[in-house]
Structure 1
Amino acid sequence: MFRTNGGRRALLGAAGAVLLTLPLAACGEKEETGNEPGSGPSVSASVDAALAAKVPDAIKADGVIKVGTDSTYAPAEYLDTDGKTVIGFDIDLFNAVAQKLGLKAEYESAPFDAILPAVSSGKYEIGVSSFTINAERVQSVHMVSYYSAGTQWLAKAGASIDIENACGKKVAVQTGAVQVDDLNTRSKKCTDAGKPAITIDQYQGQSDATAAVVSGKNDAMLADSPAVAYAVKQSNGQLQLVGDIYESAPYGYAVNKEQQAFAEVLKEAVQAVIDDGTYEAALKKWGVEGGGIKTSALNPTS
């Protein structure tokens, strides 16, 4: 997902009361048909001994890599129906990357904008939460690319929203997301032209932002394209996509700046799962293969 200094996510969670009308909401009860995103077979990767040998001793000592994630961002990372297990395409994909390095990933849910500081402090060994790679972020952490996504908007079904002229509209967005800057820029264009500003309502969880549109509190919402498409698909016709996807950019795994060697081997592990087909299988399982990349890179910002 696009975010500025941290993170994004699911359709229920704290917004459950509002979204009870969405029968397929990510954290709610749903009827399993075997055709929903994520319902395919589990995806796993074989250990690459050469890559595993490159993992720094401090990280591989216990065989576990501690991961910080904002588990409110379906279909990338969100809580399963048990309310505890983190699932999603980000999770399946990083599990495969960790397996390639002979490690097991353990996930801890955290607010999006708290994850990168926690990686920098050493609380987490990696941040996996649909972080868009940008120049600001690579100043504080290493970022290893693994996917590409853009921004898209949604609104209530039947609503008329012009994203190029949203002046005077109330728009929801997740706190810490890169879309906050997008909205600030759009709002300034409105006021510079003598039009009403955009009311920008920021929510801690992506689920809360989605719920605000369902309830009518906000006119529209914008977020990373996979999250928006998933929300619309799960809304049982209550929401619609608005406009086209724009400003595509890579997602990256966040690694402590002092862990250059680990960031390098992580890049190699991502490339290995791309090359052996595990990567494509994980993305197809969730229906998000449109954002797949061919080559992983360390700290790409252009």
Structure 2
Amino acid sequence: MSRRPLSVAVALAATLGLAACGSNSLDTGSGSGGGGAATTGSGPTTTAAVDSALAAKLPASIKSAGVIKVGTDATYAPNEFLGGDGKTVQGMDVDLFDAVAARFGVKVEWQPASFDSIILGVTGGKYDMGISSFSITDERKKQVNMVSYYTAGTQWVTQTGNPKKVNADDACGLTIGVQKATTQQDDLTARSKKCTDAGKPAINLVVQEGQDQVTADLVGGKTVAMAADSPVALYAVKQTSGALEALGEAYDSAPYGWVVPKDQTDFAQALVDALKAADSDGSYKAALSKWGVEKGAITDFAVNP
């Protein structure tokens, strides 16, 4: 199969606003805002009535401001990514949480950041919450509360036709793309160790700050495959005009969690109750269906499952 020129590939990925980020590692580096994007805000996107009992559980700082400040890596379409204006954060996570925030009677201010800086931003008080397709792990739960709201696995993607005959279970010596600080980076690092332990060449990881860069690398031929969260990987396949295809099935499914400061258990439980209400009235599944990711819907919302 012929390969797209790199310049075309990068332009394509940038235009489509492709992205990716569900992570496993608790990397709290001090990365800067995603792509220098301006802070964006939005109001509630549903007509759900304000629940005074839920609103009473908001932290005093949020009640006073009337705004929930959310740190997010806006490079992870369709979960969270920048719109055509290059500033407005949009996606499944945005629509879903805006619907939840409406029940508290507050607005949401989405603040783009590098993925590996968000948890530190929450624990340090820069953000009220982190919402960025975070996989729930024991390591993270030691640092913050995590409210489960969705589930996703890892999906590999290659150029259409898999011209390099990539096998995810035997990728020794191949060049594979992945986003920094994600479960996929951990997975590939472990797979690479198995290669070297067996006397085979290591996997050559091309690690990028944003999933949009990872996708562009694959479309342009810099890598022969990439691994990302299943909804993000499959969205990339749909958006690249036949340039990419899924390789095999998703594996290692795990819940995503909203990140909340460790001392704010009442707020975390209130978010669970708001999710249950959104599930009951249909707005939860509507937010997922809008972006074609309803397969990952859950009903057992919980704090630190």
Does the 8 Å CA contact 1:43/1:92 hold for their aligned counterparts? Answer: no
Q: Counterparts of 1:193-232 in structure 2 under 5 Å?
A: 193-232=198-237
Partner AA of 1:98 in structure 2: A
Q: CA deviation at 1:246?
A: 0.3
Cα distance, 1:240–1:44 mapped onto 2, change above 3 Å: farther
Q: CA deviation at 1:45?
A: 3.3
- Say yes or no: does 1:155 pair with 2:146: no
Partner AA of 1:207 in structure 2: D
Partner AA of 2:140 in structure 1: R
- 1:78 aligns with one of 60, 76, 81: 81
Does the 8 Å CA contact 2:74/2:81 hold for their aligned counterparts? Answer: yes
**Separation in 2 of the partners of 1:21 and 1:101?**
39
Partner AA of 2:170 in structure 1: N
What is the match of residue 283 of structure 1? 288
Does the 8 Å CA contact 1:19/1:25 hold for their aligned counterparts? Answer: no
**Separation in 2 of the partners of 1:259 and 1:206?**
31
Q: CA deviation at 1:272?
A: 1.4
Does the 8 Å CA contact 1:69/1:128 hold for their aligned counterparts? Answer: yes
**Separation in 1 of the partners of 2:92 and 2:121?**
22
**Separation in 1 of the partners of 2:200 and 2:14?**
39
Does the 8 Å CA contact 2:145/2:262 hold for their aligned counterparts? Answer: yes
- Say yes or no: does 1:67 pair with 2:67: no
Q: Which moved more, 1:263-272 or 1:159-168?
A: 263-272
Does the 8 Å CA contact 2:46/2:102 hold for their aligned counterparts? Answer: no
- Say yes or no: does 1:121 pair with 2:124: yes
Q: CA deviation at 1:54?
A: 2.1
Q: Counterparts of 1:27-176 in structure 2 under 5 Å?
A: 45-159=48-162, 160-176=165-181
**Separation in 2 of the partners of 1:195 and 1:44?**
58
Q: Which blocks of at least 5 consecutive residues in structure 2 are unaligned? A: 1-5, 19-44
CA offsets, 1:73-109, max 9 Å, x none?
0000000000010000000001011111111110010
What is the match of residue 36 of structure 2? none
TM-score by length of 1: 0.86
Partner AA of 1:25 in structure 2: L
% same residue: 52
Q: CA deviation at 1:43?
A: 5.0
- Say yes or no: does 1:257 pair with 2:278: no
CA offsets, 1:144-176, max 9 Å, x none?
001000000101111221000001100111001
* SS at 2:16 equivalent: coil
Q: Counterparts of 1:265-276 in structure 2 under 5 Å?
A: 265-276=270-281
Does the 8 Å CA contact 2:152/2:256 hold for their aligned counterparts? Answer: yes
Does the 8 Å CA contact 1:44/1:95 hold for their aligned counterparts? Answer: no
Partner AA of 1:20 in structure 2: A
- Say yes or no: does 1:20 pair with 2:11: yes
Q: CA deviation at 1:116?
A: 0.5
CA offsets, 1:96-154, max 9 Å, x none?
11111111110010000000000000000000100000111111111000100000010
**Cα RMSD (Å):** 1.7
* SS at 2:256 equivalent: strand
**Separation in 1 of the partners of 2:187 and 2:120?**
23
Does the 8 Å CA contact 1:73/1:227 hold for their aligned counterparts? Answer: yes
Partner AA of 1:224 in structure 2: D
CA offsets, 1:194-251, max 9 Å, x none?
1111011110001011111111111110010000000000000001101110000000
Aligned length, in residue pairs: 272
Moved over 6 A (4+): none
CA offsets, 1:178-199, max 9 Å, x none?
1111001111111111111101
Q: CA deviation at 1:270?
A: 1.4
- 2:250 aligns with one of 205, 225, 245: 245
Does the 8 Å CA contact 1:147/1:293 hold for their aligned counterparts? Answer: yes
